[in-house]
Amino acid sequence: MAIGVAFLVSLFCTPIAIRVFTRLKAGQPIRAEGPQMHQGKKGTPTMGGVVFILATVIAYVAGHLALTTLPDAQIAQVEPTITALVLLGLMVFCGAVGFIDDFLKVRKRHSGGLSARGKLLGQILVGAVFGVVALWFPSTMTDATGAVTNTETVGSTTLSFIRDIPALDVTKIGAVIIFIFVVMAATNGVNLTDGLDGLATGASVMVLGAYAVIAFWQYRHWCADPAYTANPDNYCYTVRDPLEIALIAGAAAGACVGFLWWNTSPARIFMGDTGALGLGGLIAGMAMSTRTILLLLIIGGLFVIITMSVVIQIISFKTTGKRVFRMSPLQHHFELAGWSEVNIVVRFWIIAGIGVAIALGLFYSDFLANMG
């Protein structure tokens, strides 16, 4: 239900957003120092991320309404949770930071919007607020007898790969600091990837789809489910609200697919920093809530590769005065090498898919290894 509603809302509301932003002259300014072939995109409406962020929130509500219609035996996590507050809050408020940046770009008619320091402070503030909420508010889920069956928080005080690593306990304060870093890395990673029509949108669909699978698998093998843990040989996941995580991940993926219909080459609208930072914030929240923070490096492998291309370019130029790539981020290097935009996007999508496939393989192999 959530995926379908998000897809339809995004698919049919994006053309409305195109008309509205065109009428408001909210066109995307293009950097003069960027690839010359991008100058033809100047004036394309931006801030399209507003649509799929709104579609995700609407779909979340629809998903919960659908849960209330299920038989009592099947109802689980019907009421909204702190997990949803954290995940949707990260998406909305990181998106708000991006919206301010997009608004300033449009108003100034210049590609320089919010200052780097201002954007960084916004990301730190959002990460800190929701990191605290994620670490200080445990679940109070009870069974039919009233006994508390789940006291997990959204986040964990230990580092995690496929699950928590108990030996790497960093305390609550340390966990919040690490989460702030993850939010900054994920938001900037998606933002740097958002340089070609549909590239970041398609890659995000794969990453969010992977988290929907991971979270639903955790729900089906959940330590808070007495029907599953009745068998002591069953391996379970100590997370909070996994069905809620799967619902939101699926809704966001569906919303991105609907947006991709209009965002694919030649794009009629861009997601802007509104969408890129919103998606990055949500993906960071997914890694924290599913206890797969280090696995994010593989799931979001494309984002990591593109971010590292920028880091390498900056370090090389500042230390040697030479550039490793014709231009960074990496997708622009291949543009200047003569690759067509569509070829770059599809091949980069393949790389994103490979990262997702490897991550899901590692996740499932860990499950098999731990089953009794």
Contact (Cβ atoms closer than 8 angstroms) between residue 3 and residue 59: yes
Report the distance separating Cα 30 and Cα 253, nearest Å. 28
Annotated binding site for Mg(2+): 191, 273
Over 205-272, what HEC string results?
A: HHHHHHHHHHHHHHHHCECCCHHHHCCCCCCCECCCCHHHHHHHHHHHHHHHHHHHHHHCCCCCCCCH
Annotated binding site: 191, 273
Crossing angle for the helix pair 116-136 and 171-193, to the nearest 10 degrees? 140
- Non-local (6+) Cβ contacts of 117 within 8 A are none
- What b/e string do you get for 264-276 counting C-beta neighbours within 10 Å, with b at 16 or more? beebbbbbbbbbb
Whether residue 232 has a cis bond before it, omega within 30° of 0 = no
Whether residue 266 has a cis bond before it, omega within 30° of 0 = yes
Degrees, nearest 5: CA angle 63-68-72: 130
Which own/partner contact pairs does 309-312 have at CB distance under 8 Å and 24+ positions apart? 309/333, 310/192
